[in-house]
Amino acid sequence: MTDPTAITATLDAAASLDTVFAPVRSLTAFEETVDRLGTAIRLGLLPPGTRLPAERELCAKLGIARSTLRQALVALGQSGHLHATRGRGGGTFVVDPLPPAAPPSQAVLHAAQDTFDQRVAVEVGIAVLAAERAGPEALDALDELVITLEGLLKDYPSFRQADVRFHVGLAEATRSPRLVTAMTEVQGAMTNLIELIAHPREVLASSNAQHARLLAALRRRDEAQAAAVMIEHVRATEHILAGLLPRGD
């Protein structure tokens, strides 16, 4: 393994790492931290063998709670980017070497931003209309899906199926067949992207917590809050993909 002392000295002198460890300022702090560290690892700003700063120092640099940092480190460990060791000389290290991953095609990468844009337009609008129109039965069905998802955090294929049902059910709550079609299309496109990354339990749990907050806004008929939570949910997914998506650089 690379000498962590030498790596640390290099990190301290690297101006480019000021961006890596700049404060995270967002409601999606967990996902942005995964994005920030995962991207830095992929670009070689945090090379294999690098020992990350101590948790207290890293929390101070990023401006996040220790619980948020630990969630992000666990997620990056489960995805194969980091590993932790205990005892003297221990810490959290960038995996050496990173596990091989087949990068997506350039066509997929170029289409990703269009998919994200489409998702914002479709899903935020649907969330607003669902807050206005969703009946008790539709809300109860969505609530059952949130509970189901919570029990599927270790079973990604089943989680994803229930996740898609939640989003399509949200569209059905607007009582617009055209929006159901639009939601189905955008979820299909997102599935093609999401399947390219690892699926840490922490990421799935955070996603489902956003589902629960969205459902609470729908029950209050709070259109503005429903839109805000959906925007957060969509952006969170983008950050996770940015941090974990393999690239053929």
pLDDT digits (tens, 9 = 90+) for 8-65: 444 444 445 667 777 787 778 999 999 989 888 887 788 888 899 889 999 998 899 9
The pLDDT value given to residue 22:
78
The pLDDT value given to residue 91:
87
State the pLDDT confidence band at 100, using cuts at 50, 70 and 90: low
Two tokens, residue 218: 């729908």
**27-31, 94-98, 209-213: least confident range:** 94-98
Residue 135 contacts residue 234 (beta carbons within 8 Å): no
Residue 140 contacts residue 174 (beta carbons within 8 Å): no
Give the integer Cα–Cα distance in Å for 1 and 222. 53
State which CATH number among 1.20.120.530, 3.50.50.60, 3.40.640.10, 3.40.50.1470 fits the domain covering 106-244. 1.20.120.530
Overall fold of domain 4-94: Arc Repressor Mutant, subunit A (1.10.10)
Domains in the chain: boundaries: 4-94, 106-244
CB atoms within 10 A of CB 227: 19
- DSSP result, the chain: ---HHHHHHHHHH-TTHHHHTSPP-STTHHHHHHHHHHHHHHHTSS-TTPBPPPHHHHHHHHT--HHHHHHHHHHHHHTTSEEEE-STT-EEEE-SSPPP-PPPPHHHHHHHHHHHHHHHHHHHHHHHHHHHH--HHHHHHHHHHHHHHHTTTT-HHHHHHHHHHHHHHHHHTTT-HHHHHHHHHHHHHHHHHHTTS---HHHHHHHHHHHHHHHHHHHTT-HHHHHHHHHHHHHHHHHHHHHH-----
